[in-house]
Structure 1
Amino acid sequence: MAKTASDTVSLTRQAYALTEDLMRPNAAIYWIDLLLSAALMWGGFLLAATTTSLAVGLLAGLVSMLALYRALSFIHELTHIRDDEAPGFRLGWNVLVGVPLMTPSMMYEGVHNIHHVKDRFGTALDPEYMPLSRYTPLSLAGFLLVALLAPVGVVIRSAILTPLSFVAPPLRRFVKQRLSALVINPDFVREDMARMRPEWLAQDIACWLWSWAVIAATIAGWLPVRLVLTGLVIFSLATFLNQARTLVAHHWDNDGGKMSLDEQFLDSVNVPPPNLASELWAPVGLRYHALHHLMPRLPYHNLGKAHARLTQALAPDSLYHRASQKGLFEALATLFRRVGRKPATGSQAAE
């Protein structure tokens, strides 16, 4: 029997009723998690870049890559929490992670929120959606592999295009509208940068100066080339892992038209326990992606509790139980089997 939008509205009401006490972010958890992740990221990186042991270097690099991925993933939380809910966290994250990786919070703030707008989700106006299930296996593999070049892209943007844009107004408009957002949809044009917020401008300039400092120190011989290359490899692998996670965050079946609420929910994916590995490849709550779309304001550290409550309380035929996948490789295999075929319509997906 097909589900209707009223089913999703009812599910949302039930979900909020069951998790009302979980909606407040815990600033201490945010700070402790970020500081531990940043310490493992930078410590593992330094060990991997300086050790003479191949085994130690590979293990340290793996730890650094996973920690970098986790620390970087907090950019998603920054789009959903208010500054007063975790005082200083936005600035701390940008200092420890965003600016050094030349991926400041401004590149997601005001962008990711559009993905949650009900009449934009899955359409051509959604910055984080494309009908990937209609791709060929080769083009889907290209989408996955291009993520390895992300570190090169942010260096070019920060070290070359940003400073040039301040003396070339047309380039400045291009950088702000097309190169200042973390998106999936390449046709997305960012409109809210016409009047850049002062803090966003500060982040942009900080990335520019940081990139020049690293380049200058490398050329002068103060910064070993091995250190720089190790950092780029670790960063590259982390962005590749995130791209793989992105492929299983949705079913990517929509062809650009507006979707009903139940279609939007069923297009999103949870990879919950007992899959414990999802904590590594979909950190900071990203493994509960469908639940996040149901309740965007639910803080990441309470998503597991909320999922457990909903799983236990909701009827077996609830839409909620249909949003889960077993794991990364199973979900990727399912997607690659479906690519190139005509995607199911919204009504078919909701049946």
Structure 2
Amino acid sequence: MTSTTLSPRDVGAAAPARGRPRGGDDAALLRVAAEAARDFAAPDPRIFWADMLASATLGYAALVAAILLHGAAAWGAGVVAALALYRAGSFIHELTHVKHAQLRGFRLGWNLAVGVPLLAPSFMYEGVHTLHHARTRYGTIDDPEYLPLARMKPWTVPLFVLTAALAPIALIFRFAVLTPLSLLSPRLRATVVARYSALAINPAFRRRPPEGALARQWRWQEAGASLWAIALVLLVATGTLPLRAFLIGLGVTSAMMVVNQIRTLVAHLWENEGEAMSVTAQYLDSVNVPPPTLLPALWAPVGLRYHALHHLLPSVPYHRLGAAHRRLVTALGADSPYHAANHPGLPQLVARLVRGTLRG
């Protein structure tokens, strides 16, 4: 969910889509997926609220412990804080797909509890992530969340992760400095909206100004994040917030961003070079890491371990993706392309990506 600083030259062959989509669609796969989408579409507000609030509470409590403790105990608390807040923050993905009438107040609650405090309010993702799911945009130069990483230079992979480590500092600067300054300069404001208001990885992406309900959400969320960022800077500058506490908080949020960026590295195979793709081809370029492996519950929480399935069923809430996956596995034969997007784990996926960059 973080932005990289790779230049368009490094992106290589990504280009606007032309002609027919690459790859054909598998009719049986799409039929079973459509049935699952109908049957598993309803979110359970109780699960959403309990999961988000429990994750945020654990994360903030562990962050306080990391600040107050020392040595191994502080490091352990920091790890718990990073993973718990990462899970809480991952609900920003659900907010981009869910019908808000089915989860009344959840967007407001999430932004107050997680989005604004972590300087990643939902306007940074809403209106952006859905472009990644547009059939004619996926994998093209118009996709804000796609780079042909497997076709790029080997050094782009560590650079991709490094930029995430620096993201918390960039977000403080964006909201504490650029937001107030942009109110004084229409030209700067246009730049901030276009280039620094999206959690995207495609450096060529330029965001359009928001309209309607999103514009109203944007205003209050950006104002809240800006006030919070300015307050943090002032609290540290005046010594009210000890520098050690601030740096620990910065380290925890940096660790969150790095874990998410590593997850992003393996969310897709990143092998498309700019052509439009069929739905089945998009699915096969995406990744599931289903059970029985357990670690994806930590590094790909809130349904992100079923990222390929999510591209087939974007309207299905995270807590029902496991049941949808089991249905598709049962309903589709062994020769179905559905099984080709299921992978064993993180190390194998990272190794595949690195091998792709070495071949390039």
Range class of TM-score, shorter chain: over 0.9
Supply the distance in 1 between the matched residues of 2:92 and 2:34 (Cα, whole angstroms): 24
Please, which runs of 5 or more residues in structure 2 have no aligned partner?
A: 1-21
Matched length? 338
Supply the distance in 1 between the matched residues of 2:236 and 2:322 (Cα, whole angstroms): 44
What secondary structure is seen at the aligned counterpart in 2 of 1:118? Answer: coil
Supply the distance in 2 between the matched residues of 1:219 and 1:249 (Cα, whole angstroms): 39
Supply the distance in 2 between the matched residues of 1:74 and 1:29 (Cα, whole angstroms): 12
1:87 positional shift: 0.9
What secondary structure is seen at the aligned counterpart in 2 of 1:34? Answer: helix
Supply the distance in 2 between the matched residues of 1:10 and 1:83 (Cα, whole angstroms): 31
**Residue-by-residue CA offset, 1:260-289 (whole Å, 9 max, x unaligned):** 222111101100111110000000000000
1:4 positional shift: 5.8
1:131 positional shift: 0.6
Supply the distance in 2 between the matched residues of 1:19 and 1:65 (Cα, whole angstroms): 32
Please, which runs of 5 or more residues in structure 1 have no aligned partner?
A: 343-351
* Corresponding residue of 1:219: 237
* Corresponding residue of 1:5: 24
**4+ residue segments displaced more than 3 Å:** none
1:19 positional shift: 5.5
Supply the distance in 2 between the matched residues of 1:108 and 1:123 (Cα, whole angstroms): 19
1:137–1:317 CA distance, 2 compared to 1 (3 A): same
Are 1:109 and 2:117 an aligned pair?
no
State how 1:271-350 maps to structure 2 within 5 Å.
271-342=289-360
**Residue-by-residue CA offset, 1:161-181 (whole Å, 9 max, x unaligned):** 110000011000000111000
Are 1:22 and 2:37 an aligned pair?
no
Supply the distance in 2 between the matched residues of 1:171 and 1:241 (Cα, whole angstroms): 32
Supply the distance in 1 between the matched residues of 2:185 and 2:304 (Cα, whole angstroms): 39
1:198 positional shift: 1.5
Q: Does 1 or 2 have the higher relative contact order (CA < 8 Å, sep 6+)?
A: 2
* Corresponding residue of 2:58: 40
Contact 1:177 1:193 (C-alpha < 8 Å) held by counterparts:
no
**Residue-by-residue CA offset, 1:232-285 (whole Å, 9 max, x unaligned):** 000001100111100101010111111122211110110011111000000000
Are 1:173 and 2:190 an aligned pair?
yes
1:228 positional shift: 0.8
* Corresponding residue of 2:248: 230
Are 1:210 and 2:228 an aligned pair?
yes
Supply the distance in 2 between the matched residues of 1:139 and 1:18 (Cα, whole angstroms): 37
* Corresponding residue of 1:258: 276
**Residue-by-residue CA offset, 1:280-321 (whole Å, 9 max, x unaligned):** 000000000000000100100011111112112210011110
1:194–1:310 CA distance, 2 compared to 1 (3 A): closer
* Corresponding residue of 1:188: 205
Contact 1:253 1:267 (C-alpha < 8 Å) held by counterparts:
yes
Supply the distance in 1 between the matched residues of 2:233 and 2:72 (Cα, whole angstroms): 29
Aligned counterpart for 1:269 among listed residues 287, 302, 316: 287
